[in-house]
Chains A and B, each alone.
Chain A
C-alpha cells in the first residue's frame, strides 16, 4: 500500500458536521472513516454520572450519516471514546443507537466493541505490585481513591484497535481511547510510520480545528504516504495553512515537543509543515519513540449535591463591600447549619469570577456584579435548604452604610435557588504499567441487522 486516506467527520460524535463536506470527502476515496468521540474536557461529571455531553438525537444524526457513508464506500468506520467518556454506560448507549439506526435504515454490519472500563480489583492488585505511577495530579493513588471511584476507565492505545481490525469488522465502537489512536490504528496496521500516523491522528481528532477558519464541526481528510501526510478539508470555505496545522499540533498538550502516549512518545523536534497548494498542508518529520507501556487511568468520585442561586448587584455601596458581606453571610449560614457537612462558594463575575485567585486585576470597581452562590452538601435536600438560606441572608444582610434596606440582590429567577444535582471530581488520573497493551480492553463481535 503506497498511500492511505483517512476521513474524520468532526471533533466529536453528535457535534454535527455539514452533509456536503462528508459527500465531498467521500469523493476523495477514503480507506477509512475514523473519529474520536470523547474528551475529559467537559469535566468529571460525565464520567461519574455515566452521561454524555451530546444528546441522543444529535448522536443519532451523525452516526446515521457515517453508517450510510461507510456502507456506500464499503470501508470501515472506527469510533473511539464513545461518547464523551468511553465508559460502559456511554459505550452501550452509543451501540444501542447504532442498532436502532440499522433497524430503521435496514443496514447490516459487523460490529466490534472494545471496552475500556477497568475492574477495581485489577487496579488494587496493580497498586500492591507498584505498577501505578503518579502523574499530573501530583498525588500517589490510594486504596481509598479506588474504593471511592464511581467508575474507572483506561485510555487504550492503538493495539486494541488493531486486534479488533484483524477480525475484519465493518464498524468499531470503542470505549475510552487515546484520541489519536482511533484514527492512527488502521494506517499503523497497514505498515505506515507510527510517528506520522499518531501525529495525523492528533490533528484529525478535532475535525477542522486545524484549518482556517477553524471548526471542530467539519470534515478533515488526511492522506498518508511513506514519509509524510497531507491534510485537506473537503469544505471549500476552509484551508489548511502551515500556521493552522502547526498551531493545532500544540493544542491541549502540555509539552509540544515530546507528547506522551500509550507505549511511548511523539517526538516533534524535526517536524516540518509545508503548504503545497490546493488548500493542503504536508507534514513530515514526526517520530515515535518507544517507552515502557503505560495506559492512563481516569476515575471520578461523587462529592455531593449542588444547589445554586444567580443574582446581580448594582448598588455601589454594596459592590465596594462585597467581600465582607460574603464572609458575613457565609458565617451566618455556617452557624445556622452547625452539624451539617457542606461547602459554600461564591463566584463574583465582574470581580474575579473567571480567574479566581489567578486574577491579576485586584482593585477594579465595576458598576455591577454577577453573583453565583453555590452550596455543595451530602444530599440534594440539604444543599437546597442551605442555598435557600444563603440567598435569603445575602438579600437582606444589613451591612454598615446600607441605604437600600429593601434588598441587596437583583434575583434573576423565581425560584431563586436551583438544585443542579450530583457533583463529581476526578480522583484518579494515574498511569498503569501493562505488559500486554490489549489485555485490559476486551473485544467482542456482534452482527447487526
Chain B
C-alpha cells in the first residue's frame, strides 16, 4: 500500500540557523542511509516546494544540497531581512525550520 510519511517522522534532525547574517540554512539529517536515500530519490524536496512552503518570490536563490556521508539534505536561501536589521524577528535564525516538518514523502510500507 502506498502512503506518505512526514519529514518530522522520518528525520533525526530538522533545523534552521544563520549561515552568516544574510542567509538562512536548513539541515534535514537522517539516522540511516536507507531512509535518506528514499527521501533523496523521491525528489520531493526541490526548489519549487521550498519556494511554496516559505512563500518566496521567484527571484530568490534557493539552493539544495545533499551530502551522502552525512545522510543530509541542506537548503539555503537569503534571509528576507538580514540578521538584526530593522524588522528582523529571529537574529540567529534558529526557529525557521517548522514548515519542513510537514513535507510528505511517498512511502511504501511494504519495504
Residues of A within 8 A of B (CB): 40-45, 136-138, 243, 246-247, 249-257, 268, 271-273, 285, 303, 343, 345, 347, 353-358, 360, 376, 423-426, 429
* 9 nearest A-B residue pairs (beta carbon): A43-B84, A246-B70, A254-B19, A136-B22, A256-B67, A254-B76, A43-B91, A425-B85, A44-B84
A125 to chain B, nearest CB (A): 25
CA of A247 to CA of B78, assembled, Å: 21
Whether A360 touches B21, Cβ cut-off 8 Å, given contacts A243-B12, A250-B67, is no
Q: Can you name 6 A-B pairs with beta carbons within 8 Å?
A: A40-B83, A43-B91, A249-B70, A356-B80, A360-B55, A360-B99
B 52-111 contacts with A by CB, 8 A: 53-55, 63, 65, 67, 69-72, 74, 76, 78, 80-87, 89-92, 95-96, 98-99
Is B31 among interface residues, defined by CB-CB distance under 8 A? yes
Choose one: A44, A255, A423; the contact of B83 (CB below 8 Å): A44
**A353 neighbours in B (Cβ, 8 Å):** 89
**B72 neighbours in A (Cβ, 8 Å):** 246-247, 250, 256
B97 to chain A, nearest CB (A): 10
Whether A426 touches B76, Cβ cut-off 8 Å, given contacts A40-B21, A273-B69, A358-B55, is no
Choose one: A138, A273, A376, A424; the contact of B84 (CB below 8 Å): A424
Is B29 among interface residues, defined by CB-CB distance under 8 A? yes
B98 to chain A, nearest CB (A): 8
CA of A243 to CA of B69, assembled, Å: 9
Given contact pairs A136-B20, A354-B89, enumerate 11 new A-B contacts (beta carbons under 8 Å): A40-B18, A40-B20, A137-B82, A246-B71, A246-B72, A250-B67, A256-B72, A268-B67, A285-B69, A343-B86, A426-B22
**B95 neighbours in A (Cβ, 8 Å):** 354-355
Q: Determine whether the beta carbon of A44 is less than 8 Å from that of B85.
A: yes
Q: Determine whether the beta carbon of A268 is less than 8 Å from that of B12.
A: no
**A423 neighbours in B (Cβ, 8 Å):** 86
**A376 neighbours in B (Cβ, 8 Å):** 86
CA of A376 to CA of B88, assembled, Å: 13
Is B23 among interface residues, defined by CB-CB distance under 8 A? yes
CA of A256 to CA of B66, assembled, Å: 8
CA of A426 to CA of B88, assembled, Å: 12
CA of A295 to CA of B67, assembled, Å: 26
**B71 neighbours in A (Cβ, 8 Å):** 243, 246
Q: Determine whether the beta carbon of B55 is less than 8 Å from that of A252.
A: no
Q: Which residue of A lies closest to B26 (CB)?
A: A250
Whether A41 touches B92, Cβ cut-off 8 Å, given contacts A246-B71, A255-B65, A268-B69, is yes
Is B13 among interface residues, defined by CB-CB distance under 8 A? yes
B77 to chain A, nearest CB (A): 9
B 19-55 contacts with A by CB, 8 A: 19-23, 25, 27, 29, 31, 53-55
Q: Determine whether the beta carbon of B99 is less than 8 Å from that of A43.
A: no
**B18 neighbours in A (Cβ, 8 Å):** 40-41, 252
Q: Determine whether the beta carbon of A426 is less than 8 Å from that of B31.
A: no
**B22 neighbours in A (Cβ, 8 Å):** 136-138, 426, 429
**A40 neighbours in B (Cβ, 8 Å):** 18, 20-21, 83
CA of A254 to CA of B78, assembled, Å: 10
B28 to chain A, nearest CB (A): 10
Q: Determine whether the beta carbon of A429 is less than 8 Å from that of B70.
A: no
**A138 neighbours in B (Cβ, 8 Å):** 22, 78
CA of A360 to CA of B97, assembled, Å: 11
B21 to chain A, nearest CB (A): 5
CA of A118 to CA of B49, assembled, Å: 42
B14 to chain A, nearest CB (A): 11
Choose one: B25, B31, B76, B85; the contact of A243 (CB below 8 Å): B31
A60 to chain B, nearest CB (A): 25
Q: Determine whether the beta carbon of A247 is less than 8 Å from that of B91.
A: no
B58 to chain A, nearest CB (A): 15
Q: Determine whether the beta carbon of B65 is less than 8 Å from that of A355.
A: no
Q: Which residue of A lies closest to B61 (CB)?
A: A138
Q: Which residue of B lies closest to A424 (CB)?
A: B84
CA of A304 to CA of B62, assembled, Å: 32
Q: Determine whether the beta carbon of A42 is less than 8 Å from that of B17.
A: no
CA of A43 to CA of B76, assembled, Å: 19
CA of A347 to CA of B87, assembled, Å: 9
Q: Determine whether the beta carbon of B67 is less than 8 Å from that of A257.
A: yes
Whether A43 touches B27, Cβ cut-off 8 Å, given contacts A273-B69, A353-B89, is no
**A358 neighbours in B (Cβ, 8 Å):** 54-55, 80, 96, 99
Q: Determine whether the beta carbon of B84 is less than 8 Å from that of A257.
A: no
Q: Determine whether the beta carbon of A250 is less than 8 Å from that of B70.
A: yes
**A272 neighbours in B (Cβ, 8 Å):** 69
A141 to chain B, nearest CB (A): 14
Choose one: B76, B86, B99; the contact of A303 (CB below 8 Å): B86
CA of A347 to CA of B74, assembled, Å: 29
CA of A103 to CA of B69, assembled, Å: 49
**A254 neighbours in B (Cβ, 8 Å):** 19-20, 23, 25, 63, 76
